[in-house]
Each structure stands twice: as C-alpha cells, then as structure tokens.
C-alpha cells in the first residue's frame, strides 16, 4: 500500500491556512477567491513543494498547487518527468470559507488522494486513463461524467484502486487500531478477528461506500487483502 507522511501533509495544510489568512488581511473574508486579482492582475494561488518516500525506496519531489477554480472542488495528481504534480481546485469559495474546518478536511482528503497518484508508479494499463484525466477536476463519483467514463471503469482503474485503498485505510485506521489494542482481534483468533474488525469498520468509511458498489470482485478482494496486510504489519 502507498503510505503518505501525514506530518508533511499536515504542514502543507497549515502553510496553506496561513497563506489564506494573509489573503484575508489583503482582500477580506467575504471576497470570492475567483474574483480576486493581485498586483499584476492574476488570481492568487498557493504553491509549495515537498519530498516524500515511495514504497519502492525512492524519494519523490511533489509540486503542489492550490488553485482558484469555477468548479466545485476536486483535484488532479500525476507523475510527470520523474516528479509528482498535484493540483487542488478551490471551487467557488470566499477567502473566509475556504479555511473553515469542514472545507479544510475536504481539501485534506483531496490532497492526500492526489498525492497518492503522484507517488504511484504508472502501470501500462493506466497510461491511457492518465491522458483521459488531464482535464479532470474531481476525484470522486462526480468525476465520471467529466471524464466521459462510467463509474465501474473509473473506480477499477489500478491507480484509483490503490488511491482509494489508502484513503479507506486512513478513514478506518483509528478505530481498527483501538480495537486491536483492546484485544478484540484475539476474540475470534488474530487473523479472522482482524478481518472481522475491518469488515465492521468499512461500513463507516465514506470512501468505501462510494467505491464498493462499482468494484469488480477481483478489486474488491484486492482492497480487503491490502487492508488486512497493512493492519497486520502495523500490529506486528
């Protein structure tokens, strides 16, 4: 599974929030981001670069941009000439609303999903889908109309399977770890118990509810086995 340094992601979001606070002092809380122009006539954008390890022992530079957009939000992430490129689209928010906790949490999920794509190796089967995504602005069920593909094709793309596996893992990890620490896994025997805990928590995962109806049996099992393997590694 592709893992992301949560500390570095948290720092990106904190830097973004501080940058927005500066924009608020300049333009006010109620000013729509899309209608803001700086000294040279451009709409302000937040740009940063981080370095993250990959599962293959490499260190990858990730260029991140939080950009104004007329869209309702979403993002885009890819590997480009050895570096990762991530764009997060801010939608029709004002400077004040974009840093409200609920909106920041949505941006956090988008950012991590797209970073997963930027870290990932690109399997041959996904090269065409990468080109299809070039103008994509969202990363959930609403993306399929814009991409011109059905949800089954979108959510079963190898890149999306890996990205959503990590996303589901992050959503259920706190409770799964708590149950494991409390010995619940051993109630059924460790292997079976761990699987049971994960199964129970999947019903609480928003990402799993989004993708599960569209997954092929093979990718359904691939995600479940990946989750069990990851939590087993955490426990051991």
Give yes or no for residue 190 having a pLDDT over 80.
no
Beta strands in 81-162 (DSSP E): 83-89
Q: Say whether both 91 and 165 belong to one domain.
A: no
Contact 44, 66 (CB under 8 A): no
Q: Is 147 a member of any domain?
A: no
Q: Say whether both 163 and 116 belong to one domain.
A: no
Give yes or no for residue 75 having a pLDDT over 70.
yes
Tell me the pLDDT of the chain averaged across its residues. 84
Distances (CA, A) of 194 to 33, 113, 182: 46, 25, 12
Q: Say whether both 28 and 101 belong to one domain.
A: yes
Q: Is 135 a member of any domain?
A: no
Q: Say whether both 91 and 45 belong to one domain.
A: yes
Helices vs. strands in the chain: H and E counts, helices first: 10, 4
Q: Say whether both 97 and 177 belong to one domain.
A: no
Q: What is the pLDDT of residues 124-164, one digit of tens each?
A: 445 445 444 444 444 454 555 555 578 898 899 998 999 99
Contact 95, 27 (CB under 8 A): yes
Q: Is 102 a member of any domain?
A: yes
Predicted TM-score (pTM) of the model is 0.81
Q: Say whether both 23 and 114 belong to one domain.
A: yes
Residue with tokens 């399997």: 123
| Residues of the chain above pLDDT 70, percent | 79
Q: Is 110 a member of any domain?
A: yes
pLDDT score at 185: 52
**Closest residue by Cα to residue 90 from 63, 116, 112, 111:** 111
Rounded distance, CA 174 to CA 216, Å? 27
Q: What is the pLDDT of residues 10-55, one digit of tens each?
A: 999 999 999 999 999 999 999 988 888 766 767 789 999 999 998 8
When divided into structural domains, the chain yields a total of: 2
Domain that holds residue 198: 153-235
Rounded distance, CA 62 to CA 47, Å? 11
For the record, the structure tokens of 223 come out as: 């995600």
Give yes or no for residue 186 having a pLDDT over 90.
no
Q: Is 59 a member of any domain?
A: yes
| Residues of the chain above pLDDT 90, percent | 52
Q: Say whether both 102 and 199 belong to one domain.
A: no
Distances (CA, A) of 211 to 37, 162, 164, 168: 39, 12, 8, 10
Q: Say whether both 27 and 82 belong to one domain.
A: yes
């Amino acid at each position: 599974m592709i893992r992301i340094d949560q500390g570095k992601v948290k720092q990106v979001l904190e830097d973004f929030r501080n940058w927005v606070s500066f924009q608020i002092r300049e333009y006010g809380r109620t000013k729509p981001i899309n209608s803001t122009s700086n000294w040279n006539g451009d709409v302000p954008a937040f740009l940063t670069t981080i370095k993250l390890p990959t599962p293959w022992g490499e260190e990858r530079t990730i260029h991140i941009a939080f950009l104004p957009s007329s869209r309702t939000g979403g993002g885009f992430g890819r590997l480009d000439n050895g570096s990762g490129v991530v764009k997060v689209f801010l939608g029709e928010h004002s400077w004040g609303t974009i840093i409200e906790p609920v909106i920041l949490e949505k941006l956090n999920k988008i950012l991590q999903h797209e970073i997963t794509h930027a870290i990932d190796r690109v399997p041959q089967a996904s090269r065409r889908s990468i080109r299809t995504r070039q103008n994509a602005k969202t990363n959930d069920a609403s993306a399929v109309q814009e991409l011109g593909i059905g949800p089954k094709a979108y959510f079963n793309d190898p890149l999306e399977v890996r990205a959503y596996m990590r996303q589901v893992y992050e959503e259920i990890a706190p409770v799964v770890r708590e149950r494991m620490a409390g010995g619940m896994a051993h109630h059924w025997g460790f292997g079976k118990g761990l699987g049971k805990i994960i199964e129970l928590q999947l019903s609480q995962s928003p990402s799993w509810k989004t993708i599960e109806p569209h997954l092929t049996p093979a990718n359904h099992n691939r995600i479940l086995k990946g989750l069990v393997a990851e939590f087993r590694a955490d426990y051991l």
